[in-house]
Amino acid sequence: GPEMPLFSVPKEVAVGTAMLGVAFATGMLAVFGTPKSSKSIIGKSSPLWQYILDHSLREHPFLKKLRLITADHPWGKMMVSCDQAQLMANLVKLIKAKKVIEIGVFTGYNTLNMALVLPDNGRVIACDINEDYVKIGKPLWKEAGVEHKIDLRIKPAIQTLDELLASGEAETFDFAFIDADKESCNEYYEKCLRLIKKGGIIAIDNVLWSGRVLKPRKDDLATQSIHHLNEKLLRDARVNISMLPMGDGVTLAFKL
């Protein structure tokens, strides 16, 4: 038969270990705290979900390597779902992005994912407060030959965003991916909106928060914050939006 394309994914990627069964096949990935129910939109055991993965996923070998390492981590579920990461990479390519902001790096899977598709002079400003997790992915960035495209800033993301604005970088970024503490998601969004060019895209992860947004508890600040931002985005005339039931829900905001 014909040769497999370089980045095609054999079935074992989707089946994988027990951990991958949760962190990969469901795609329902919370950032702080493990959701009580990890049901994807279709259902992780659904043959249809398996079909989607089998017929759409092309995972770069270095991404696969980092995913397998991350899957063994106690907080492995925090990693972005692979199908969603692939969409982010496709969007970055589609708009010919050169400057990208990532808020929330974890082990750097999506950082690597975006760096791989950026041009050689492209940059990912990668924001996180925990260098221990990032150390897991850093060797893979180097191995993949994209380390020079990644500008890692270990400090509160708000501080980094303020520094970028103060240094005159407003409206110079093409793409932003927000996947960090949910209590600050509105502030991240507002600052990214100032940094992004017209026609640029902001992707906000975990907008469904394992379904908790349906009935946000008064004492659950994370869910309240996500729900308020979701309501605000619906009416935000500065952007066009699409909310996608992918992973734990992702909203794409296209700056007008």
Strands 150-154 and 173-178: unpaired
> Alpha-carbon distance 44 to 245, whole Å?
14
Q: Tokens 């980094």 sit at which residue?
A: 160
Which residue is it, tokens 């038969």? Answer: 1
Beta strands in the chain (DSSP E): 99-103, 123-128, 150-154, 173-178, 196-205, 239-244, 250-255
pLDDT at 73: 72
Q: Which two tokens stand for residue 144?
A: 């993949």
Q: Is the pTM of this model over 0.85?
A: no
Q: What is the DSSP string of 74-124?
A: TTGGGSPPHHHHHHHHHHHHHTT--EEEEE--TTSHHHHHHHHHS-TT-EE
Quote the pLDDT of residue 154.
97
- Beta-ladder partners of 201: 175, 254
CATH architecture designation of domain 47-255: 3-Layer(aba) Sandwich (3.40)
Q: What is the pLDDT of residue 44?
A: 66
Q: What pLDDT is stored for residue 135 in this prediction?
A: 94
Q: What is the pLDDT along the chain (256 residues), one digit of tens a residue?
A: 544 344 444 444 433 333 333 333 333 333 333 333 334 556 667 898 889 889 999 999 999 999 998 887 767 667 778 899 999 999 999 999 999 999 999 999 999 999 999 999 999 999 999 999 999 999 999 999 999 999 999 999 999 999 999 999 999 999 999 999 999 999 999 999 999 999 999 999 999 999 999 999 999 999 999 999 999 999 999 999 999 999 899 999 999 9
Please give the pLDDT value at position 46.
Answer: 83
Cβ–Cβ under 8 Å, residues 202 and 196: yes
- Rounded to whole angstroms, the Cα distance separating 139 from 162 reads 29
